[in-house]
Amino acid sequence: MSSAPVPEGAVEGVGVARVAHFETVAQQRQAATLGIWAWLITELLLFSALFLVALVVRIEHPEATIAAARHLKFWIGATNTVVLICSSLTMSMAIAFSRMGWQRAMVRAMLATAALGGLFLVLKGYEYYADWDEHMMPFLADRPFALAETPAARLFVNLYYVATILHAVHLLTGILILLGMTWMAARAGFLARHQNWIEVYGLYWHFIDLVWILAFPILYVVNRSS
């Protein structure tokens, strides 16, 4: 790899080390951005299919889905929405700090983002525990489902778990990657060679937030209304 010269108007000490198979740093940046966008679109299609099925179940079986959705902890879903919006803000701050070459501030913003992601998982874990306590886990054979008499409610709750657990897996993966990147970003010279890592990763984190912003109204809000 070779380090690219700092272009006019750029911040000293902030740049990207060009990999040999790219002709220019600009081409390397475009390839990284295109690659992450292509992957995120496929992931968005996956979640969109789950949300679409949930909406169809709501339309076809309104009473059953409303009964199931009222067991969801609205305050936890709303709080987690605020938590992830705040994490998007701190991730955006980390990106801005990386562009300005403020390495220490960038690292702190990245740690704050990971901490907010961890808070989301703690709250979600508590919500799952409350669901278990209320017999709202239809896939557990040893705990009878509270709404066993309504198959549509069982379907909706199963969709809820598939969507939210899949989102939680993405979030946990994102936190682990972010912590590893933060450890590397704290080293001297990181921003001079890998500043684009922060920007590319930021797209992934914002995607995680976007999925939850879609999930919250579809799973918690729409299905609670009569």
What is the C-alpha separation between 188 and 192, in angstroms, rounded? 9
User: Helix (H, G, I), strand (E, B), or coil: what is residue 29?
Assistant: helix
Q: Tens digits of per-residue pLDDT, 75-116? A: 999 999 999 999 999 999 999 999 888 889 999 999 999 999
What is the C-alpha separation between 60 and 166, in angstroms, rounded? 25
Q: Are 193 and 3 in contact (CB under 8 A)?
A: yes
Residue appearing with tokens 């886990």: 137
Contacts of 9 by beta carbon, 8 Å cutoff, 6+ apart: none
Gyration radius of the chain's alpha carbons: 21
| Section 119-127 average pLDDT | 97
Q: Tens digits of per-residue pLDDT, 32-61? A: 788 889 999 999 999 999 999 999 998 899
Q: Are 223 and 58 in contact (CB under 8 A)?
A: yes
What is the C-alpha separation between 191 and 94, in angstroms, rounded? 12
Q: Tens digits of per-residue pLDDT, 141-165? A: 888 888 888 899 999 999 999 999 9
This prediction has a pTM of 0.87
Domains and CATH numbers, the chain: 42-224 (1.20.120.80)
What is the C-alpha separation between 106 and 74, in angstroms, rounded? 33
What is the C-alpha separation between 166 and 144, in angstroms, rounded? 24
